[in-house]
Structure 1
Amino acid sequence: MIARARDSSFWSSLETPPGRRKGETGEASVDLHPYNAAVSVSLGSASLASHLEGHRVGLVANPASVDHDFTHMTDLVAPLSGVTVAALFGPQHGFRSDLQDNMIETDHAHHARLGVPIYSLYGETREPDGAMLAELDLLVIDLQDVGTRVYTYIHTMTNCLRACAHHGVPVLVCDRPNPVGGLTVEGPMLAPGFESFVGLFPIPLRHGLTIGEMAQLCNESFGLGASLEVLPLHGWHRQMYHDETGLAWVMPSPNLPTIDSTIVYPGQVLVEGTNLSEGRGTTRPFELVGAPWLDARAVAGAMNDHQLPGVHFRPAEFQPTFQKHAGEPCGGCQLHVTDRTAFQPVVTTVALLQTCRRLAPDHFAWRQPPYEYETVMPPIDILSGSDQLRRQLDDDIPFDVIARSWETDLQAFRSQREPYLLY
């Protein structure tokens, strides 16, 4: 194959100078980095540097711990004069978030470039011990939460608050937006006796808090007792979804690749407590749901007949590459959110579980333990927060009646969270 000579006039027409759009000479300069150009929200980490001078710092982070220019927290802190990065800590999926599947523990490691330990908080321990904290003057937490009680990063954070209170290490939490907004709370409350690593405190499934607000609420309401400071966001409002902030979506864990998957997650995570596939092992985790023994058109048709607000169910067939039903063709549906402010993810998934159970009563089953370090209680119980939802669905109580049963607890939580709202 003969390479053709480069036509300099053609190629030069494509080579637009940095910061300038192709067009006539003299056209106004524009920023070619759209996330930077549209940024309206300033992250808590933007004011971090002024709090660190003279300190030996530990960082709780993962690949989503980046600023608006995609600079990672470690690269922001390590060059600061008078600041020593003494240790790194990783949540579930690891500091590098390189473990794709769910509930896979991470080993401790070493950061070659910085020459410091990387302690796993999802392995032999889920709470930093005295030896991990001994060389620190300050622990900084910069994790992207997704607004759902069962997402383990908030429990990693509260475990850090408890440990730091015990060992006398102050904590800074860099606040980040709740990607599904801060107005709506939904779903069942965690009941006493059902605590686990997917639910340590009595909060609803969709809590409507930023991670900084959650830190304050848990630290004060549940007696964690840490010396805590939250570095607030600037420009964020409670009605904002993540794609309205101007910030890029960097997936906080491997199975929440998009804002679409994150919007449905507060409800669809309940599917993990069943023998249905929640779409892990596909490119649309949590948006797809199904099983080998379900008919896609029947599922989608029955769900659309419910006329649930803000969502359409499209018949879908898929074959997971790992996790439940790996390699098996599954029938089910994909959730397409058409109005996310009207969409109610938790009641939607409860309706979906009820529908699948009714369509295939001889096949549908609750997943059995172990699950997230719990070896006795059914996974659906620790996901939903008690055995009530499981019993209600076993008794075929209509999903709208089930949803109404949450309201008293939700109203109490709205009042409880009010003093801790920063925005």
Structure 2
Amino acid sequence: MKSLGLCLLMTLGVVFIESVPCDAAQAKARRRAPASGVESRQSAGPLATIGPVIEKAIKDGKCPGAVVLIGAKGKVVYRRAFGRRAIVPRPLPMRMDTIFDLASLTKVVATTTAVMQLVEQGKIRLEQPVTDYWPEFGSNGKGEITVRELMAHYSGLRGDLDLKLPWSGYETALRMIVAETPIAPPGTRFIYSDINYETLGELVRRVSGQPLDVYCRDRIFKPLGMKSTMFRPPTSLRLRIAPTQYQSGHSGKMLWGEVHDPTAYNMGGVAGHAGLFSTADDLGIFARMLLNGGSYDGVHILRPVTVDKMTTPQTPFGKMAVRGLGWDIDSPLASNRGDLFPVGSFGHTGFTGTSIWIDPFSKTYVILLTNAVHPTGEGNVVPLRAQVADIAAAAFARAPTKEELDSRMSSTGYWEIVNSYRAEAAHSDNVQTGIDVLESENFAPLAGRRVALITNHTGRDLEGRRTVDLLNHATGVKLASIFSPEHGLFGVADERVPSIIEPSLGLPVYSLYGETERPTDKMLEGVDALVYDIQDAGVRFYTYVTTLGYSMEAAARKGIPFYVLDRPNPIGGILVEGPVLDPDLKSFVAYFPLPVRHGMTIGELAQMFNQENRLGARLQVIKMHGWRRADWYDQTGLAWVNPSPNLRSLTEATLYPGVGMIEGANLSVGRGTDTPFEVLGAPWIGSKKLADYLNMRRIQGVRFSAYDFTPRENRFRGELCHGVRIDLVDRDALDAPELGVELAGALYKLFPQSFEIDKTLPLVGSRAVLDEIKRDRDPRRIAYYWEQGPLEQFRKMRAKYLLYQ
């Protein structure tokens, strides 16, 4: 083997440095590189720090090697390879012509470009539902999803297809896509989804008549001269390819020339979301094509207006995650933009360690290709991407003028398209809860029965009359006793609650949050119907759910019929989010293996508990009239009643699944203040440090400001707490359990000696999630993993018990 060295190429007084073998073949390869692939003395100075930054990342184990290609104003100004492209099965040096598994760069380089070519030809329209091109796709509530929503990741589909059970085949994947059910209404939430682009890849095949790989080869890569860009590279190119990871993580075969993404692998190596392989030089050609308005070297791939439309905001107006068509502009995933490239620039990343960022104002592009997942998936180049981008931006970027921004917006009709997302559906505004329906039936199901009522202050009809009083005066019904949950009959207690006599009726009120948490046989003597009417909060650790379960168990044991007067889930009945409870962590704050946000009504939960726990209760749910799953509480026409002393608004109820998830630790979540769950702090927290970090994370739906407060009661009573105020700016965009993981991760990262993270386990409910937080895993990645595991199993189980559309 020939020795390795530094080859110095002197051209027109310009120095070009590349860490490659100094042999004739490599010299020939360099001569085949684009003519502009040189580095000028003027730009070498400010870019000189890239080398040490990359070398440190390699030394720190973030990646085995890297290729960097930077262009500005029509010239390549930096082009260099670092480190190794392979560590196992044997060390191999990184070279400029190394072919990388691009992972999700496939979405923008291949699929987005192909779809937009078909748009130009009038064969696909962005505003049309996907079912116009693939009718079967519309099953299970997907009929209204548009092509634009797929491309901008606002379809409401989850992150990827189920990988828990083995499957293979492209047609199998299509059947699985057809079977998918959205986890959010289309157009409401940014959910980065591989399914979106798997679907778009199939649209290309259906509309063009060619498989995606053939179409892209013939219509994009071959015309541009991207000779090393392809799906399923042949084995003859193996020695140029950077291997990725052992297929089973730390074992199995090394993926080397086969796609790393498991879904794309199962689909045969060609998919709309992953599977493309390419080099830095080929991606440089692609970047220059975009900067030239869709043309390169006389070849026209796209029209200028199409490039502008792809790379300007195409998301619903006001959403924090701003995406183009395929391209990222300003979302939480845009780490490779760094801090200095302006909003209005665009790019994308790939899971294997690849990225591209393009600034149309300074005509600059930054390509960083690594195989960070090699060999065992433990690399991480997220900070490195930002560092390289900042170095390049400092050298070349500039702030765009208002005229430039307005021109790009107007040329693509942005202000018109933001209104093309379907208007929010009209809401019910006249919901009748279970007690209203029961009242309209003259209490017929309870006629002749001696009733015990499980309720509190939230048990009211539309006119505000208590269920206690309605049953007490109902003809043919005998109200014998009352049971109260945590916080008592009047909903004001924040400690253990004693049993009392109801003052106006003289009836016994048995506390289920006092000496006992379950109805006893003595309490149920003479009772021949148990009725439950309590407003829930829609969160796993809200204890009214446990009171429901324990009471059903008691009723089943005694053979007493159990009636649930149903009420809305105040935070909606569509979204299902957060870690599912480990079965061995059941407790009074965790009755059933639910995710943090379950998206079910109390009546639906009752059905699920009865069937899945095999309680055998004689259950009857008195359904609501007029409620729809998409309704938030303020869209029902019902008056807000605080379900507990520290949930005083719908805003607090929306934040509760996230902020409440970590309140077991040594901090205050605002209990004892005027805004519980809207603030978080402790004497040991640095307010600005925490606020700055959380804002840097760009968590969808919320913003943070440094905030000090002194609780009047509860934890840290009378002590000054430093922390943050949490402003809810977009409730539809917020994934509250993911917010909880973000908060836990931030506190553990910034204050590891003070934050007692292990105390959050009972409410987090998942040891695996807690372990991942402690390993400093990115919260978005943690959320992605729980989506692929028990949460999907729960969704399937949940579907059997849903009562409303």
Q: Same fold (TM over 0.5)?
A: yes
Out of 433, 436, 447, the residue aligned to residue 46 of structure 1 is 436
Aligned residue runs from structure 1 range 8-407, under 5 A = 39-48=429-438, 49-99=443-493, 101=494, 104-366=495-757, 379-407=759-787
Alpha-carbon distance change, 109 to 379 in structure 1, aligned in 2, over 3 angstroms: farther
* Deviation (angstroms), 1:239: 0.8
Given that 1:389 and 1:402 are in contact with CA atoms closer than 8 Å, whether structure 2 keeps it comes out as yes
The aligned residue for residue 374 of structure 1 is none
Code of the residue aligned with 2:485 in structure 1: it is: P
For residue 358 of structure 1, report the CA deviation from its aligned partner.
Answer: 2.0
For residues 435 and 760 of structure 2, the distance between their equivalents in structure 1, rounded to whole angstroms, comes to 36
1:143 is displaced (CA, Å) by 0.6
Q: Which residue of 2 aligns with 1:22?
A: none
Structure 2 gaps, min length 5: 1-427
**Structure 1 alignment gaps of length 5 or more:** 1-37, 367-377
Deviation digits for residues 240-264 of structure 1, max 9, x if unmatched?
Answer: 1101111111011101011111001
Q: SS at 2:695's partner residue? A: helix
Q: Hey, what does 2:304 align to over in structure 1?
A: none
- Cα distance in structure 1, aligned partners of 2:660 and 2:582: 18
Question: What SS class does the counterpart of residue 657 from structure 2 fall into?
Answer: helix
- Aligned-pair CA distance for 1:359: 2.1
Partner of 1:418: 799
TM-score, normalised by the number of residues in structure 2: 0.45
Aligned equivalents of 1:381, 1:303: Cα separation in 2: 22
Are the equivalent residues in 1 in contact too, given 2:456–2:488 (CA < 8 A)?
yes
8 Å Cα contact 1:161-1:171 kept in structure 2: yes
1:50 Cα shift?
2.3
Taking the aligned partners of 2:692 and 2:629, their CA distance within structure 1 comes to 34
**Secondary structure in 2 matching 1:133:** coil
Checking the alignment, whether the CA contact within 8 Å between 2:662 and 2:763 is kept in structure 1 is no
SS at match of 1:255: coil
User: 1-side partners of 2:751 and 2:542: how far apart?
Assistant: 29
Q: Deviations over 1:153-195 (max 9, x none)?
A: 0110111111100101101100000000011111111112111
Is the CA contact (8 Å cut-off) linking 2:748 and 2:774 kept in structure 1?
no
Supply the distance in 2 between the matched residues of 1:126 and 1:239 (Cα, whole angstroms): 33
| Contact kept? 1:39, 1:68, Cα under 8 Å | no
Contact 2:436 / 2:462 at 8 angstroms: preserved in 1? Answer: no
In 2: Cα distance, 1:379 partner to 1:132 partner = 35
The 3-state SS of whatever aligns with 2:583 is coil
| In structure 2, C-alpha distance between the alignment counterparts of 1:160 and 1:268, rounded to whole Å | 28
**Are the equivalent residues in 1 in contact too, given 2:683–2:722 (CA < 8 A)?**
yes
Deviation at 1:389, TM superposition (A): 2.8
For 1:17, the equivalent position in structure 2 comes to none
Taking the aligned partners of 1:128 and 1:117, their CA distance within structure 2 comes to 13
Distance (Å, rounded) in 2 between the aligned partners of 1:405 and 1:291: 30
Number of residue pairs aligned between Structure 1 and Structure 2: 372
SS in 2 for 1:156: helix
What is residue 12 of structure 1 aligned with on the other side?
A: none
SS in 2 for 1:132: coil
Q: Identity over the aligned pairs, expressed in percent?
A: 41
Deviation at 1:379, TM superposition (A): 4.3
Counterpart amino acid of residue 73 in structure 1: T
Which has more radius of gyration? 2
What are the superposed Cα offsets for residues 315-344 of structure 1, whole Å, 9 maximum, x if unpaired? 221111112221112121121111111111
If asked which structure has higher relative contact order (CA below 8 Å, sep 6+), I would say 1
Rounded to whole Å, the distance in 2 between the matches of 1:313 and 1:349 is 14
**TM-score scaled by length of structure 1:** 0.85
Please give the secondary structure, in 2, of the residue aligned with 1:392.
helix
